Chains A and B, each alone.
Chain A
């Protein structure tokens, strides 16, 4: 860090490292210098000229966003000259601005409105005809109204620098200058919509939100994205019980403002017309709506009957349900149904990793570590496709701290753009390729290793041994699919491991065994679609499904309970890095109930005593009883991410690498949920090749 220097801003003394930008130095003494184009963390533009300040001994006003603070500088941010310049800038900006604030999406949260309110002139002298261009639709998700655009270039920069996509550029000149997609009239990009969020005005609008609401007419719920396992914080904007927007403009959570297309637009499955809103029961071979009490009664009777005659149960848990639900489900299975036949779709070998790291402290990386580590090694994964936030973090780390990233992957990945080294290796053969990177990796102060599903079983142990042999601090991330894939494992939705990876006495059937067992009496599926591509072997098995939609599995069911999605409930989820975060209910879908409540009602009906089934109570039990989950409550309660403690003890793993089968989602798919998101489907139908490495 450079030597500290002292400068004076509006009479206040400020101590900052030499070279700090004046606009940032001013923040430290509570002085906000207005700016449009200055955007923290991105390249400097000095284009909007709003941040001009008066510097003593300099004849011209200086843009404070590019002016490095120097010893003894005396700066005025509210002098008559500065005030006049700002007023002038806003007057210029408004000349060709359509001033259609009453119908603009941004009205009420528009930076141009705010600036004009605070710094603008009371009246306009512009009486000429405005330069006008028609609005354009660039993609199902992104619309551009050039007339409103103030050319701050934030959109260009987040897309290019932040994501490495570079889908936007500038065309024409002078007053006709406008933002244009690199592919002319349409976007071929990640469709993440970040450009829309950062737009200070209503020039970029969102396909899901435009003209639907005014910002003050909505309720907001800060929750966790239910799609991939990265655990981005997303704030749902809910109007009349309906989610119409998702973003993270308050930069709370682990993801700054970042969200991928699924986080920002993939919420619309919630209001899909295909949502189940009543329990269904099979009568005469057909699923028909019935009341909750009837459905619960039938399932309870069936479960009791099968249990009484010692029949076999199979329970399949969810990769998106909350920790509380997963925990309660395995408790239901193990204590209520007295079976260890419980499993879920596994997508990463977390258990083996935790076992291999046993005895080590600080061996698991958090999402934030990816931004601060000196180096990262990505093995067998296409992060930008499957873990967009992690990809963003690594890129931001490289942009801001010149960290080094190494890639070992099967095909080209987006990290190649800036990777220190990229090596191609077939899936399963990645470890052999690592040796070539050994000398490079050893040079760095510390390293994060992220590995995908092709590294499993003994390969995980070899990878950890390789990490150990480097002689530098190494942390790990085992990549898993969905928002609570990690939690399902931690919560013991596994036939051989109870919560906290404790051994069970008699391991039960795994998912394959259940589906292929000719004698299975009951299959109970909570938020999963195991029958998407296969048939249940025992045609006579009684199948109970808790689902949002009539999936392939639900169609086979005897009873279907309409379940609430993650956005409609509270609870906690654990992301790919093992950080626990809290869900907050936003919208409501009539007729659906959270899985926890459905299980609770069932337990009650069956006369089982599994404890109180509210999320808070179950979470308390988890904190008390599950290894690693004694996390700081205040962190979680305030919307933070609390890292779980490493298990730190041997885990009795019975490795079944064959059961680790990631779903292979792309940036635009998200298992079953993705199929019911109109926006994700529309985006994929849009012209052009969307994702490029």
Chain B
């Protein structure tokens, strides 16, 4: 159970119908009886412009990682294009530390379906896919069941709620790679191809799935939309801070007393989140650092954490809100090991398309393994920074940046820890190698 017992400081909007503990997903009857699908009913009476305006007003920003203003993204789609227009849900949830999309799909699948319907309506789309990572078999099944129920009740199909508008929706099982969460790689994967990212521009809004205008948003982003339509964009914006509207799910993990998924308003102080909602650092230890928005976000030292947790404030602090995964590290945490582990992840997940990420992550992984083993040199520490700098901003897609950013920030902010680990091993132990020295 990732959803933890509710905390009084939470603002439960998206999660308001959830109970704790909840055994089964909220069924269609319950959903409908509690205002469910009223959002799409209302949206069907609105013009596409009006829907998008409402979303713009809400200052909802993408919850998948980049935090791009959602209303703006939707307005980029040429609604008059003769091509079909598509809705794609990014449920690949690959960013380490992130575990909220599954909570949404597990508890209230119809909310996501309704979000898709409203988005579909706003761009004159008739078709949507929910791209769910293959490991989420359970949630794929839940979504499939919910979609079938929605079809049976006329929320999906050739004549949505008798409006004459057609909207079809289905799940698509991902084929297992972090990179497939990157929106253009996701679209390739959706089309049945290898999950490599695409050249941008064109962006999906112009040429997405099957070369047609497409909106790609995160599960949580779509799920926020029904309430925005029901209660108005201004209401939603008011829940957060300026330009950072609404509430968000925070995935608290790490050295905490109460890890779990919670819903908080944007702009809640990071320390409040950690100390109140998360129940504080465990075992009475002190806070060392926080990874605020998924493994790709630059790390914050304890003293940097007294800031509002929203997109703009974190950007100002040199990090990012990312996917909302907040990983808390206590004073005993081994920063070198953390980075070493993370780099192994990125090296494993790099798609291999471009040189700096493909070779850079693999190289960094080897150097960091050495540093972690305690057999690195001072020069190795500099190299980590230099190589990450060489990668940063020069890769084909953002995965390269996602690997470079933590590397740079960890070495810069915790250089003392890297140095302390130098020569910490008495006996020379070579770094573990995955390949034999000589292949005959």
Contact = CB atoms under 8 A, between A and B. Distances in A.
Given A95-B363, A175-B358, A49 B394 contact: yes
A687 interface: no
Given A88-B356, A129-B437, A151-B352, A174 B393 contact: no
Contacts of B363: 92, 95, 126, 128
Nearest to B198: A46
B439 interface: yes
A141 to B, nearest CB: 25
A177 to B, nearest CB: 3
A136 interface: no
Contacts of B367: 128
B435 A132 contact: yes
A48 B361 contact: no
Contacts of B348: 174
Interface in A113-155: 125-126, 128-129, 131-132, 134, 150-151
Interface string A223-235: 0000000000000
Nearest to B195: A173
A44 B198 CA distance: 10
A652 interface: no
B174 to A, nearest CB: 14
A175 B347 contact: yes
Contacts of A66: 199
B349 A174 contact: yes
Given A49-B354, A173-B350, A174-B347, A95 B383 contact: no
Interface string B366-400: 11000000000000000100000011011110000
A52 interface: yes
A478 B331 CA distance: 83
A276 B349 CA distance: 60
A170 B359 contact: no
B351 A173 contact: yes
Q: Which of A44, A85, A96, A129 has the most chain B CB atoms inside 10 A of its CB? A: A129
Given A46-B199, A176-B352, A177-B352, A61 B394 contact: yes
A84 B353 CA distance: 21
A47 B396 contact: yes
A49 B395 contact: yes
A169 B196 CA distance: 12
A172 B362 CA distance: 14
Interface in A40-66: 44-50, 52, 59-61, 66
A93 interface: yes
Nearest to B440: A134
B356 to A, nearest CB: 6
A93 B353 contact: no
A464 interface: no
A379 B348 CA distance: 52
A91 B394 CA distance: 14
A89 interface: yes
Nearest to A132: B439
Interface residues of A, number: 38
Contacts of B196: 170
Nearest to A147: B439
Contacts of B395: 49
B50 interface: no
Interface string A80-105: 00001100110111011000000000
Nearest to A175: B362
A89 B360 CA distance: 9
A175 B350 contact: yes
B355 interface: yes
Interface in B389-440: 390-391, 393-396, 433, 435, 437, 439
A96 B350 CA distance: 15
Contacts of B350: 173-175
A544 B347 CA distance: 71
B407 to A, nearest CB: 14
A157 to B, nearest CB: 14
Nearest to A150: B355
Interface in A567-590: none
B366 A173 contact: no
Contacts of A176: 352
Contacts of B391: 88
A59 B355 CA distance: 21
Contact of B355 (A48, A131, A169): A48
Contacts of B347: 174-175
B360 A92 contact: yes
A170 B353 CA distance: 9
A93 B358 CA distance: 9
A154 to B, nearest CB: 14
A70 to B, nearest CB: 13
Contacts of A52: 394
Interface in B176-203: 177, 179, 194, 196, 199
Nearest to A134: B439
A128 B194 CA distance: 30
Nearest to B430: A129
A174 B351 contact: yes
Given A49-B394, A177-B352, A96 B362 contact: yes
A589 B233 CA distance: 85
B390 A88 contact: yes
B359 A96 contact: yes
B351 A85 contact: no
Nearest to A36: B355
B375 to A, nearest CB: 12
Interface string B261-280: 00000000000000000000
A648 B354 CA distance: 57
Contact of B356 (A60, A89, A131, A151): A89
A131 B199 contact: no
A66 B196 CA distance: 17
A66 B197 CA distance: 15
Contacts of B358: 92, 151, 174-175, 177
A46 B396 contact: yes
A605 to B, nearest CB: 64
Contacts of B390: 84-85, 88, 91-92
A170 B358 CA distance: 14
Contacts of B351: 173-174, 177
Nearest to B400: A49
B216 to A, nearest CB: 20
Q: Which of A61, A125, A172 has the most chain B CB atoms inside 10 A of its CB? A: A125
Contacts of B360: 92
Nearest to A92: B359
Contacts of A95: 359, 362-363
B365 to A, nearest CB: 9
Interface in A16-57: 44-50, 52
Contacts of A151: 352-353, 355, 358
B338 to A, nearest CB: 20
B352 A174 contact: yes
Would you list the 8 A-B pairs with minimal beta carbon distance, nearest first? A177-B352, A88-B390, A92-B359, A175-B362, A174-B350, A128-B366, A60-B393, A173-B352
Interface of A: 44-50, 52, 59-61, 66, 84-85, 88-89, 91-93, 95-96, 125-126, 128-129, 131-132, 134, 150-151, 169-170, 172-177
5 contacts: A47-B355, A84-B390, A92-B359, A129-B433, A175-B352
Given A95-B363, A125-B383, A174-B351, 7 more contacts: A49-B394, A50-B355, A128-B363, A170-B194, A174-B348, A175-B362, A177-B352
Interface of B: 177, 179, 194, 196, 199, 347-356, 358-363, 366-367, 383, 390-391, 393-396, 433, 435, 437, 439
